[in-house]
Structure 1
Amino acid sequence: MNLQQVLYPITIEDFFQNYYEKKHLVIKKENVDAFKELLTVKDLDTMFHSVSNHHPQFRLANHSLDEFPDPKTYTVKNSDLIDPLKFVKSFEAGNTLVMSNLEHKLSSLRELTNEFEFFFKHRTQTNIYLTPKDAQGFASHYDSHDVFILQFEGSKNWRIYDKPSPLADKTTAFVKGEYEIGNVIDEFTLNKGDVLYIPRGIVHDAYCTHENSGHITTGLLGKTWAEHLSELLLESSKNSLALRRYTKFHEVPGVDYSNEKNDVIDAVKNLINILESNEDLLDDFYARQKSITKGHLMQMLDINKIDVNSKIRLKEKHKLRIAKNDTSLSIKFYDLKLNVPSAAESFLIALFKSNQPETIKKIDCTIDEESRVLMAQELSKIGVLEVS
């Protein structure tokens, strides 16, 4: 599921022009099963009893308590391992079940975060919240990252307050009891299938009344200009005389430092240009993503069976990055890299054009059948090819 599918019927253009980093957005969908393929309560129930889960990734929240519930009440004795029976029982007692980073456990959520990360080029994670009826997990607060909330079960009531901390980040994190939240300016109910977007710094809270609630919070853990620039500044100063000069806060009659200041301005502008075109930054970003390609192990076991009669097609072709050199092509897929001769370009172009599996010998390209099979084997090794 990609960003446009999550936002539908709102267009991406409308979202970025009118809402992104500006104000909250409620999307009422007609399809109550909009997120059925992403997550169900049954999926969670299976995970509780088939995968090892640990505190604090799995924890409880309860707005009515002064402190978070003691993890000793829902973990295996003398460990941080979640006891599924105790954990689920806590839900009946009025606690919200909080499950963080489930994209590392469920491939459907990994696909969601990968699509968001591919679009935004920022890290994304999913937190799952199960709240019982007549309960509230968290007090009013704001987050230091943007969130997309996908209601996959039941319903939940939300309130938005009128005193935001615009574009709050790690330096302006919310501190309970030290921030005036203001007055409610919007109140609404998210029903199964609905979506809510809340920019960082917008004060909000949520509670259940007559129905249990399950929602996916997809957090956009973006890096600000300040974070990116601060990481580049010291490193760039090695090759920048302007950035290595002392700051000039003193005043000396007849001495003009304006040229030095202009050099610093130019150096910072150059860093911004580097950020926008730095291939290494993108490579580092993709290196941190986890592939969602399935069937790779089976293909490795059968890679020598690929022949001219095998049917192939590209998987996740929008994740492929291809760079041309004088005599070769560099193909990058997640954190894997493949160099192939430039002559193979026509083979790749044909694969990109086709959405259906094609028999290798029938692919319309300029390389011979032996080279096609070799290309298919190499592409299969990096996980980008589906072979049947």
Structure 2
Amino acid sequence: MHSPRRFDLEEILFPLNLNDFFENYYLKKSVLVKSTDQMKFVELFSFKELNQVLNNNIDNFPTLKLVKEAKPLFFDSPDSVIEHVKNGASLIIDQLQEYSETVRELCSSVSKRLSEPTQVNLYLSQPDIKAFDLHYDTHDVLILQIAGKKHWRVYDATIDNPVFFMKEHGIFPDGGQAYIDMDIEAGDVLYIPRGHWHEALATDGLSVHLTLGILSRTGIDFLDFLKEELISDSKWRENFLQIEKHDNTHKTHLEKLKKSLIEFINKDDILEKYIIKSTVLGKRANPYNFPFQIIDNNQIEYNSLRYSVYDGLNFFMKEVDGALLLYASKKVIKLSVNAKKIIEVIFQLQDFALADLEEAIKKYQTNINRRNLELLIMTLMKNNILYIK
């Protein structure tokens, strides 16, 4: 049986070396990666999958949009969608990972590699009609050309590290010169950092591309984390401004909050807490894993099954008061400290049978209790860390 191809960051950027990408381009400047294989992404997404997504969501499709020359278009039926696209509208599906398993796996893989959230939007465009005018995004993007050809121009940023909710935004200067001015074809990938101006136009026939957005966390996100943490401190819930007072009350209160904030940020575990919350507890695997969440441990034939870690799942472990705490899938799971090496091996293997796990563990310990392994596997399945292949 043919297993679907899985795409990761290294594969989609090939032949560009991943180290070269991080050292010379990531967060710095755009790069166009030309491919010799126009069928490179055929197993990632195709017209067949596009039609399945559209046909399976006819009555409820909140992320489907039509845009023509920077203007949104109204539609109320599949016939009106088809007519608009026929007349030059671009069809856009935001959050495509919610509808496609292969795209969801790509998002998970890239998110795990970069430790950043990701999302994918799809664009189907007719030739010679723009969807959007010249603009920049407030997140990095990877453009994966699925079919057809599109001409892209990319320009330098005019504002550093833009985020969405800003009082002022960058202004494109007169006479700006594109530093990328090229066609991208099926199989090609274009990376554009946030803030870099760009525009695109399909040229020969229909163009389909996926935009993988990298939603990098910033200091603003860290402030949001601090807000969530500090809300449990009564000092931060006190009334701040009492307008009728004309003494030093406001200044005294501000100094008290400043002192509290500095003390909180200086805590030894503050960075660890933020990392756990944002990269481990921020992502949850599929919540349902029947029948394993509701049956007795003794009802499972562990030997006959194959197990997988949910795609893109990050984890963090620490020992506290003689127990091992495993942070993953928006949960904190309390385990025996003896499970630490086994958990590490499971995440290294990603996909395994019980015999594979036993063999891998032998490198670190010779005394392996089969029943304890089975109980650990069941615990991980009930908590959405593992699933049955």
Q: Same fold (TM over 0.5)?
A: yes
> Equivalent residue of 2:148, what SS?
strand
Alpha-carbon distance between aligned partners in 2 of 1:29 and 1:45, rounded to the nearest angstrom: 26
1:315-326 correspondence to structure 2 within 5 Å: 315-316=309-310, 319-326=314-321
Task: Tell me the residue number matched to 1:31.
Answer: 37
Runs of 5+ consecutive residues of structure 2 not aligned to the other structure: 1-6, 236-254
Deviation at 1:376, TM superposition (A): 2.4
- 1:108-151 per-residue CA deviation (whole Å, 9 max, x = no partner) reads 22222222322333322111100012322111111111111111
- The one of 6, 9, 18 equivalent to 1:12 is 18
Change in CA separation of 1:361 and 1:297 when aligned onto 2, cut-off 3 Å: same
Is the 1:27–1:196 contact (alpha carbons within 8 Å) kept by the matching residues of 2?
yes
What letter corresponds to residue 190 of structure 1 in structure 2?
Answer: I
Q: TM-score, normalized by length of structure 2?
A: 0.76
Is the 2:276–2:327 contact (alpha carbons within 8 Å) kept by the matching residues of 1?
no
Deviation at 1:345, TM superposition (A): 4.0
Task: Tell me the residue number matched to 1:305.
Answer: 299
Deviation at 1:207, TM superposition (A): 0.4
Alpha-carbon distance between aligned partners in 2 of 1:173 and 1:287, rounded to the nearest angstrom: 31
Task: Tell me the residue number matched to 2:117.
Answer: 123
Alpha-carbon distance between aligned partners in 1 of 2:302 and 2:161, rounded to the nearest angstrom: 55
Sequence identity of aligned pairs in percent?
A: 24
Task: Tell me the residue number matched to 1:358.
Answer: 354
- The one of 68, 72, 77 equivalent to 1:68 is 72
State yes or no: 1:93 paired with 2:87.
yes
State yes or no: 1:381 paired with 2:382.
yes
Count of aligned pairs? 356
What value does the CA root-mean-square deviation take over the aligned residues?
A: 3.9
Change in CA separation of 1:162 and 1:343 when aligned onto 2, cut-off 3 Å: closer
Task: Tell me the residue number matched to 1:140.
Answer: 134
Task: Tell me the residue number matched to 2:4.
Answer: none
What letter corresponds to residue 72 of structure 2 in structure 1?
Answer: F
> Equivalent residue of 2:191, what SS?
strand
Task: Tell me the residue number matched to 1:78.
Answer: none
- The one of 22, 47, 51 equivalent to 1:45 is 51
- The one of 257, 272, 280 equivalent to 1:277 is 272
Is the 2:158–2:172 contact (alpha carbons within 8 Å) kept by the matching residues of 1?
no
Deviation at 1:306, TM superposition (A): 2.1
Deviation at 1:219, TM superposition (A): 1.2
Q: TM-score, normalized by length of structure 1?
A: 0.77
Task: Tell me the residue number matched to 2:242.
Answer: none
- The one of 55, 63, 76 equivalent to 1:57 is 63
Alpha-carbon distance between aligned partners in 2 of 1:129 and 1:106, rounded to the nearest angstrom: 15
Alpha-carbon distance between aligned partners in 2 of 1:269 and 1:283, rounded to the nearest angstrom: 16
Task: Tell me the residue number matched to 1:21.
Answer: 27
Deviation at 1:30, TM superposition (A): 1.6
Alpha-carbon distance between aligned partners in 2 of 1:175 and 1:55, rounded to the nearest angstrom: 31
Deviation at 1:299, TM superposition (A): 4.3
- 1:248-284 per-residue CA deviation (whole Å, 9 max, x = no partner) reads xxxxxxxxxxxx9xx98x94995698664325x5335
Change in CA separation of 1:183 and 1:45 when aligned onto 2, cut-off 3 Å: same
Deviation at 1:348, TM superposition (A): 3.8
1:158-173 correspondence to structure 2 within 5 Å: 158-162=152-156, 164-172=158-166
Greater mean alpha carbon deviation, residues 188-197 or residues 15-24: 15-24
Task: Tell me the residue number matched to 2:246.
Answer: none
> Equivalent residue of 1:108, what SS?
helix
State yes or no: 1:344 paired with 2:339.
yes
Change in CA separation of 1:15 and 1:272 when aligned onto 2, cut-off 3 Å: farther
What letter corresponds to residue 36 of structure 1 in structure 2?
Answer: V
State yes or no: 1:183 paired with 2:187.
no
> Equivalent residue of 1:142, what SS?
coil
